[in-house]
Structure 1
Amino acid sequence: MLIRSKSVNPLKDWQVNRDEIRFLGKDLQRPECILTEPDGTVWSADARGGVIKMKHDGMQIIINPSILNDESEKLGNTNVLSLENDNARYISAIGSLPNGLCFDKNGDIIIANWGTNNIEKMTREGRMTTILTEIDGKTLGKTNFPLRDTKGRIWFTVTTCTEPWSDQINTRAMDGYIVLMDEKGARIVADGFCGTNEIRFDDKEEWLYVVESTAWKISRLRVKENGDLYNRETYGPEKLGGFPDGFAFDAYGNLWITLIFTDELIVITPNGEVLTLLDDSNEVTKKRLFEAYENRCVTPDILGATQGTLCPWMASLSFGGKDLQTVYLGSLRGTRIPYFQSPVAGQKMIHWK
């Protein structure tokens, strides 16, 4: 990103105008992660096991995987979950639940599957393969988010090895980690995180930024040429005002962050100030959740009752549009994708360059 630290921050005294928010898509299921492309195509994860491909002209296509293995090829819908079974979908994480997405160097979609705990790859036509199920002889845990770097390597996060994952909110188990997949295979390059979630690089790939959702903070680590990580530190405040989930840099150097459950959109400016851009929280349910968090007694019922109306369980954000000034918001419980215009462009993702 191009940081203009000596100029006026375009987000200073700016907030999202709720009346200017528009929506893309319909009848979506768990559009947790959003990917955008320069031609205006928008992709989202989908709880039916694949992705949704959309454009602003109304085009919407669900791409469900065909499962490939050594013995057979199975076409069609897999692991379709009932909309009524919220506990299975959002807390117990039963079935195939594509979570984080990225494009590999060939344009195929890398999927961190929150339901199967695997890393998968799917072509844009829906041909699915499972590429990683374990590391060091152990199952992966709750795979969350993949990311490609300029060398074509795939990085991904595991939020927790705790089952059910929601127990980790109370235990604060430091069992999250980051894996790097390269020509040598897959290896853990950093561990000991509290609820590892999304990861992002700065433009030069000198730092890897890490969301620690249940520690309410952002960390970052220096990146060596071989992918080793070191010099871990907290970026911004020691503790944010809620559960960070997804994040993205803009061209000024602001780090935009979604706070899930309370459905807030904030930024950490280059000088470390925290600004609130959108607050769709409910004061009553937010207070109850935060009290339970402090007392380590969060329950699925408390989580399920805490959400906003615009983008319930706001989980991610992505910049898109021809000028990268359209912000799309992903969610776990929404059925469409809110979007609005930003006064500053976003950082170009690797597949835009």
Structure 2
Amino acid sequence: MLSVDTSTLTFVGEGLSRPECVMATRSGDLFMPDKRGGIAVIRADGKTELIRAKNGPEGFLPNGFAVMPDRSFLIADLGPEGGVWHMAPDGTMTPRLMEIDGRHLEPTNFVGLDAKGRIWVSVSTKLIPREQSMKKGHADGYLILIDDKGARVVADGIGFTNEAIVDPSGEWLYVNETIARRTSRYPIKSDGSLGPRETFAQYGAASFPDGFAFDAEGAVWTVTVVSNRVIRTTPDGVQQVIFEDSDAGDNAAAEAAFQDGTYTRAHLDMGGRRPAGNLSGISFGGPDLKTVYLGSLFAPHLASFRSPIAGAPPVHWEF
């Protein structure tokens, strides 16, 4: 099976600022959030540009996002205003969802689109600042569904809700729980409500899952902050570390802090000292869906490598 060495990575894009999440399309264009306030695009010809938000909220920090059929975007704001915003192709911003159950949304982590046009939103924690929730056992994250019936919470009690994506079958919503260190999944009922949570993958020491993607064989490829790992988990639960760029001392320090309750944002950021830049996003792309692109919290570009296994086409692949 594939094993990737750091020295074999290639890099695309330049001057990116916090390309935390990656979306690839058949056209060859790659999209990612940018800390400068908008969406960065690496065009098929390799040129990088920034679609800057024209009228975003103060402190706007784009995080997880969805590419829409008209190449506009739904963006989760991890900044103080929080919520989900729509950004037109020219950068014009409009609030899409700012409150739920009469409560203003906290800083919001991710927003995704499924094949039925439903929107899934993840909020990692109700605590502000979010770093207060980075403790073993803490679980107050939740998931929101937006469909033709409106917006409603469909799951809660989640251990730092991160990316939430409907699988290629359309039958399951998969969710990375960063502080619970697992990938969970929920069966999706006909009315959009969710059945009971199941654990799809549990991760070990210093592996804090962030972004993920599905391959054509039904496996989940997860990237982890701190340890900069790419971990492939097959449907029968077999895990393989495809790639790792971490420091053993940093891993041990972060793990000890996590176990004794002293884990902080500084521990999470340790992975940023490595060339991989603290891996946080992953996408399959290229004409054959066999190029893997890696987003991160600190690198000014995307890392990439080739995979013998193709990715499953994401919802936005033809957009």
Q: TM-score range by the shorter chain?
A: over 0.9
Q: Deviations over 1:117-176 (max 9, x none)?
A: 110111122111111111111121231111111221111111111111111112643211
Matches within 5 A, 1:239-318: 239-241=203-205, 242-318=207-283
Contiguous gaps of at least 5 residues in structure 2: none
Answer whether contact 2:74 2:85 (CA < 8 A) is retained: yes
Deviation at 1:346, TM superposition (A): 0.4
- 1:104 pairs with 21, 45, 68, which one? 68
Task: Between 163-172 and 331-340, report the one with greater CA deviation.
Answer: 163-172
Counterpart residue number, 1:340: 305
**Residues 164/171 of structure 1: CA separation in 2 closer, same or farther (3 Å cut):** farther
- 1:119 pairs with 71, 84, 91, which one? 84
TM-score w.r.t. structure 1 length? 0.85
Counterpart residue number, 2:201: 236
**Residues 306/165 of structure 1: CA separation in 2 closer, same or farther (3 Å cut):** same
RMSD (CA atoms): 1.7
Counterpart residue number, 1:162: 127
Percent identity of equivalent pairs: 37
- 1:35 pairs with 23, 32, 42, which one? 23
Q: Report the AA paired with residue 97 of structure 1.
A: L
In 1, the alpha carbon distance for the partners of 2:305 and 2:104 equals: 39
The SS at the match of 2:272 is coil
- 2:37 pairs with 36, 40, 49, which one? 49
Contiguous gaps of at least 5 residues in structure 1: 1-11, 69-77, 80-94
- 1:194 pairs with 159, 178, 181, which one? 159
- 1:130 pairs with 66, 90, 95, which one? 95
Q: Report the AA paired with residue 60 of structure 1.
A: T
Q: Deviations over 1:199-257 (max 9, x none)?
A: 122222111111110001111111012110012111133x4441000111100122100
In 1, the alpha carbon distance for the partners of 2:139 and 2:285 equals: 34
In 1, the alpha carbon distance for the partners of 2:22 and 2:48 equals: 14
In 2, the alpha carbon distance for the partners of 1:54 and 1:206 equals: 32
In 1, the alpha carbon distance for the partners of 2:266 and 2:162 equals: 22
Deviation at 1:303, TM superposition (A): 3.3
Deviation at 1:108, TM superposition (A): 1.5
- 2:181 pairs with 209, 216, 225, which one? 216
Q: Report the AA paired with residue 32 of structure 2.
A: S
Task: Between 301-310 and 242-251, report the one with greater CA deviation.
Answer: 301-310
TM-score w.r.t. structure 2 length? 0.94
Q: Report the AA paired with residue 113 of structure 1.
A: D
Answer whether contact 2:225 2:268 (CA < 8 A) is retained: no
Q: Report the AA paired with residue 96 of structure 1.
A: F
In 2, the alpha carbon distance for the partners of 1:142 and 1:172 equals: 20
Task: Between 45-54 and 196-205, report the one with greater CA deviation.
Answer: 196-205
The SS at the match of 2:109 is strand
**Residues 305/257 of structure 1: CA separation in 2 closer, same or farther (3 Å cut):** closer
In 2, the alpha carbon distance for the partners of 1:58 and 1:203 equals: 29
In 2, the alpha carbon distance for the partners of 1:117 and 1:171 equals: 24
Deviation at 1:306, TM superposition (A): 4.1
- 1:181 pairs with 142, 146, 149, which one? 146
Answer whether contact 1:35 1:44 (CA < 8 A) is retained: yes
In 2, the alpha carbon distance for the partners of 1:208 and 1:264 equals: 23
For these two proteins, the number of residue pairs brought into alignment is 316
Answer whether contact 2:136 2:179 (CA < 8 A) is retained: no
Deviation at 1:109, TM superposition (A): 0.6
In 2, the alpha carbon distance for the partners of 1:316 and 1:138 equals: 29
In 1, the alpha carbon distance for the partners of 2:7 and 2:136 equals: 40
Q: Report the AA paired with residue 316 of structure 1.
A: G
**Residues 103/197 of structure 1: CA separation in 2 closer, same or farther (3 Å cut):** same
